Structure 1
Amino acid sequence: MHLYYFFRTIIQCPNLKKYKYIYLFPFFYLSGMVPKSFEGEIRDRLLNNANYSSRERPVINASDTVQVDMKMHIHAMIDLNEHDQVLTTAVWISLQWKDLRLSWNASEFGDVTVVPVYVEEIWTPSIFITNALDSDSLSIVSPERGMILLDSDGVATMGTPAVLSTQCPLSIHYFPYDKQVCRYHFLPTNQHNDLVKILTRSQGLLGTYSSLDWTITNLTNYDGELIIPDFTPNIHSGNLSMAVFCLHLERDPSYYIRVLLIPSTLLCILSFLTFFAPPDSGERISLSVSMVLGLTVFQLLVADILPTTLEGSPILSYYLTVNFVLASSTVPISLSNINIAYGDKRLTVLKCLFMRRLLIEYLPRILGVPSYSERINCLNKPNKRRNQLENSDMETKTSESLDGHLDTTEKTKIEARTVALVLDRIASIIFFSVFLLLVIQVIVDFNGNDGPAQILCEETFQIEEPPAKNL
C-alpha cells in the first residue's frame, strides 16, 4: 500500500507528469527487460540461431572449400639447441577465414562492425604443427589461446601468441660460417585440401630480437601439400594442404674464431716450432705433447657443440683433425732426431760419399745450420782467426783434412748432430708447407658457402607408400 500511494503521488505531481513512466524502470530491471547492447543482440542473432552449429564447416555448399589465410610474425628467437637440433621461438600467428553464416548488416545494430567471440562458439580450423616437439606447441587453435574477432562480412580473424619448440635439422658443413633454414609445417587435422586449404597469402613479418649467436636474415613462406597414400577407404590418396614458413638464420662466427680457430692454429704452429729447439733440450718432447693435449681439448669442445649427423663432418672438424695429426707427428719425429743426435754408431747413410756431402755440407748451408766443416773449424782454430779462415783457401779443403786430429767418437757425434739439425729443418719446412696448404684449402672451402638452397623451402612433401607384400 505504501508503494501504491508513493507512485500515485509521483504520477499526480504536475511537474513530473512527463516522467510518469519512470516508475516502470525498477520493474524492467527486476524482470530482466533491460535492453541488451548491440554486441549482445548480434551474438543472440548469430550464435543462438538453431540453424548454426560450430561443428559444421562455414560453407553453403558441401563441395566448397574453406580457405584459411595464415601469416606468422617472429617476435624473438629464444634458443637453438644445436646438439639436439631444437629451435625455440616466440611467434605471433594470425588466422583468417570467412563464415558466411555469421554476417550482419551493421546499420541495423548501431554500426557495430566487429564483435569478439570465443573459440568454442564458432567453427575454427583445427591446425597443428607437424614438426613440433612438445604438446604446448602442437595445436594452434585452442580455447586457451584467446578470442576471435568477427566482422560484419563474416570474416573471422584470430591472432594468438605462442612459444614453439620445433625440430630444425642443421647442416653443419660450414660451421661456424654456416647458414641454416628452420621450417614450420602447419597442417589441418584430417581434412584434405578439398575441405580446408591453408594459404600463406601475406609475407611473414620479422621481429627485432635475435640470439647472441644467430641473426634472422629472412622469413619466407609457401603453400605445400602433404600426400598421404590410402588416406581413407574412399580416398586412395589424400592431399593435405600445408603452410610452410622458413626461418633463415646466419651464425655470427666471431666467438668461435676467438675460442676455436685462433687458439688451435697457434697451438699447431707452436708444435712445429719444437723442431727449432736443440736436440739436447729437455723440454722438447714435453712441449710437443702439451700442444697435442691442447688440440684434443678443442676437438672435444667441437664435438659437444655440434650434432651427430650423417651428412659429413664440418670443415672446422676436418681442420682440427689435420692439426691434431700434424702436431702428433712431431713427437715421433723429434724422438727420432734425438736418437740420431746422440747415437754412438756412425750413420749408415753417411758411408755414401754423395749422401755424406749432401747431409753434412750442402744442406746445412742451404738450411742455415752449421755444417760439419764449420763445426770442425770452430774446434781447430782460435776465435781471432775465424774470419781469416772463412776468406782464405781453406774453404776449398775437404773436411777430411780438417778433422784428422779428432778421434772417431767425436767425429761421429758431430756428424750425427749435424744430420739431426738438417732433418729438423727439413721436417719443419714440410710441416709448415702442409699446414699452409691446409689453411688455403679451408679458406677456399669456406668461400664456397652460398648458404642453403632456396629449394629447401619449395619442395613437395610426400609420405611414401610402403611396397606391396607378396601373398
Structure 2
Amino acid sequence: MKIAVQRLEKMKDLKKSAEFIFCVALLHGWAAALNCSSPTPESLFKALEESVLSSSKKLIRPVKNFTTPTEVSVHITIVGILGVNEKAQTLTTFLWQILEWDIEGLSWDQRECGARRVSVPREKLWVPDIRIAEFMDEDNSPNTPFVYLDNTGHVYDDRPVRAVTSCHMEIFRFPFDTQKCTLTFGSYLHYASDVRLVLGSTAQEIYDESMGIIRTMGEWDLRDILAQPSTLDVAEGSFSELEFHLVLRRNPTLYVVNLLVPSCFLITVDFFSFLLPPEHVDRSSFKMTLILGYTVFLLMMNDLLPATGENTPLMNVFFSISMALMVASLLETIFITNIKCSSRHHSPVPRWLRTVVLKYLAYIVCLPPKPPSNRVTVMLSPEEHVTVNSKDVQHGPVTNGEPRIYITAATQKTLDTPQSPMKAPPEDPLAPALEELKRLSRDLRAIRTQMDQHLQDGQKKEEWLQIGLVIDRLLFGFYIVYISVSFITIGCFWVNQ
C-alpha cells in the first residue's frame, strides 16, 4: 500500500511536468498530436496503432533523427536481500526497476482522446535493452507485460527484478565484515551515442525509499547505497552505464553465539587446566577430552563458516591456533609425565639445552633454577689406602651439580706405589676381625658407589623436570597472551563494525 501511494504521488508530479512540456512543445511546433475521432479507448488505440504501436514502428528507436540519443532514466528500489553466497561470490536481491524514456514526436489531446495515459503491451513498443552486467544466473523475474504511455510520449516502465549477481567479497573479518556489491545497469548493444543512461533520483532518495519498504534482509543489513554514472570504453565506442553500490553489513550475533562463545569457553577451560600438576596423569586425560570435544564442535559448526578459496577468514585462523595450543599443551604434559616415569633411562641434559632453558627461559617465565648442591664426592680405588693432606686436594669442575675432588701427584703418600698387604701372624687373634673389617670396607665402598650413581640419576631427573616446568610455564604465558589478544581483537572488530 505504501508503494502504491508513493508511486501515485510520483505520477502526479510527472503529470504536472508532462503537461508543462506538452504546452511548451505545442508552442514550438515540434510535437505532432494524434487525431482521435472520439474520446473513447478504441479511438485512441486506433490512432496509436497507426503511429507507434505498429509492428514496423516498434523495431525502430523512437527518434526523428538517429543522431539524437535516447535518454533513459533509471531508478531502483531494494525490496529484499534474499541471500549471500560466500563460496560462489554471489548476491541475490529483489528490487524494483523503473525505466523512463520519451517517444519523440508523440502526443495527444487529453480532452479529445479521453485519457491522459494508457497502459500498452510491452511487446508493442520499442524498449531499451537495459540489463545488469553482473547477472550470474537465469533471470527468473516476474513477468510484467504492460507499460504506461502518457499523452506527452513519456513511457514509464516499472517491473520487479530478481537479480543473482556476482560480488567480490572480503571475508577476512568474518563475521564482522562489511561487503560492497555493485549493480551496473547498461545497454548490451546500444552505444552512448544511441542510448544515454541518467539517474532517476539521487542515491540518498533511493536509500531512504528502500529502507522504508524493504521486506527482508536476513543476516545482512543495508547500510548505504551509492550511485554514479560511468562509461565503458571499447575499441568501437563507449557505453553509458550506471553503477549502484550496495553497502551490506553482516549481523554477527548468530556466529558470536554459536561459534565464538563456545570456542572461548573451551579455550578458557584448557587455560585453567594448567593449574593441575603437570606430571599428573589425570591432566593428560583431561586435555585429550578437551581436544576431542573441540574437534567435534568444529565439525558440527563447519557449515556456519564461509568457504572460499581466495582468502582465509580470521575466525578460521583463531580456531586453528586454538587447536594448535591445545595439542601443544597435551604434548608438553606427555613430555613431563615421561620424564617422571622413565628419566633414569634418559641421557644427561645437553649443555646447550641447559643453557637456553635453565639459564634464560627460566628467568623469563619467573622460574629460576635450583642452586647446585655443595656436596663433595671423593672417588678412591678399592685396592688403595691413601692418606690425603688437605693441601694436596684440588677441586675439579662441577658435574651434574656435584663438585669432583682430585688428588695431586705431589702427595706425600703416592698412589703409584701400592702398599704391601698386611700379614698377620697366624697366631694373631685379631686376624679374623681384620679380614671382616676389610670385607666391610669393600661393602661400604660398593654402597657408596651405588649411592653416588643414584644421586647422579636424581640430579639428572631433577634437571629434566626443571626443563619441563619451564616449558609448561612458557606455554601458560603463551595462553595468557593469546587469549588476551583474541578477546581484544574480537571486541575491537565488533565495536568498529
TM over 0.5: yes
The 3 A distance-change label for structure 1 pair 289 and 420 is same
SS at match of 2:272: helix
| Pairwise CA distance, 1:289 | 3.0
Of the candidates 127, 133, 136, which is equivalent to residue 133 of structure 1?
136
Measured in 1, the distance between the counterparts of 2:130 and 2:351 equals: 86
Partner of 1:217: 223
SS at match of 1:342: helix
Q: Deviations over 1:225-279 (max 9, x none)?
A: 22233xxxxxxx3211112222211111111111121222222233333333234
- Give the unaligned 5+ runs of structure 2: 1-36, 373-400, 403-447
Measured in 2, the distance between the counterparts of 1:216 and 1:431 equals: 40
Of the candidates 120, 124, 128, which is equivalent to residue 123 of structure 2?
120
Deviates more, 1:164-173 or 1:39-48: 39-48
Measured in 1, the distance between the counterparts of 2:367 and 2:41 equals: 95
The answer as to 2:479 corresponding to 1:432 is yes
Q: Deviations over 1:124-146 (max 9, x none)?
A: 11122222122225xx8x9x323
Partner of 2:179: 180
Which residue identity lines up with residue 130 of structure 1 in the other structure? A
Which residue identity lines up with residue 40 of structure 1 in the other structure? E
Give aligned pairs, total: 368
Measured in 1, the distance between the counterparts of 2:277 and 2:366 equals: 18
**Higher Cα Rg: structure 1 or 2?**
2
Identity %: 24
Contact 2:39 2:112 in 1 (8 A): no
Q: Deviations over 1:66-117 (max 9, x none)?
A: 011011111111222222222222211111001123311223223x211111
Normalising to structure 1: TM-score of the pair? 0.67
Measured in 2, the distance between the counterparts of 1:104 and 1:298 equals: 72
Which residue identity lines up with residue 426 of structure 1 in the other structure? R
Measured in 1, the distance between the counterparts of 2:98 and 2:250 equals: 28
| Pairwise CA distance, 1:220 | 2.3
Contact 2:83 2:218 in 1 (8 A): no
The 3 A distance-change label for structure 1 pair 240 and 444 is same
Partner of 1:455: none
SS at match of 1:75: strand
Measured in 1, the distance between the counterparts of 2:343 and 2:98 equals: 85
Measured in 1, the distance between the counterparts of 2:292 and 2:161 equals: 46
Partner of 1:28: none
The answer as to 2:77 corresponding to 1:73 is yes
Contact 2:176 2:493 in 1 (8 A): yes
Of the candidates 54, 58, 62, which is equivalent to residue 58 of structure 2?
54
Contact 2:102 2:154 in 1 (8 A): yes
Contact 1:73 1:92 in 2 (8 A): yes
SS at match of 1:48: helix
- Give matches, 1:451-462, under 5 Å: none
Partner of 1:306: 306
Measured in 2, the distance between the counterparts of 1:447 and 1:212 equals: 19
Measured in 2, the distance between the counterparts of 1:97 and 1:421 equals: 80
Measured in 2, the distance between the counterparts of 1:307 and 1:419 equals: 45
Q: Higher RCO, 1 or 2 (CA under 8 Å, sep at least 6)?
A: 1
Partner of 1:263: 262
Normalising to structure 2: TM-score of the pair? 0.64
The 3 A distance-change label for structure 1 pair 351 and 178 is closer
- RMSD (Å) for aligned C-alpha atoms: 3.9
Of the candidates 418, 423, 427, which is equivalent to residue 470 of structure 2?
423
Of the candidates 76, 79, 83, which is equivalent to residue 87 of structure 2?
83
Deviates more, 1:291-300 or 1:319-328: 291-300
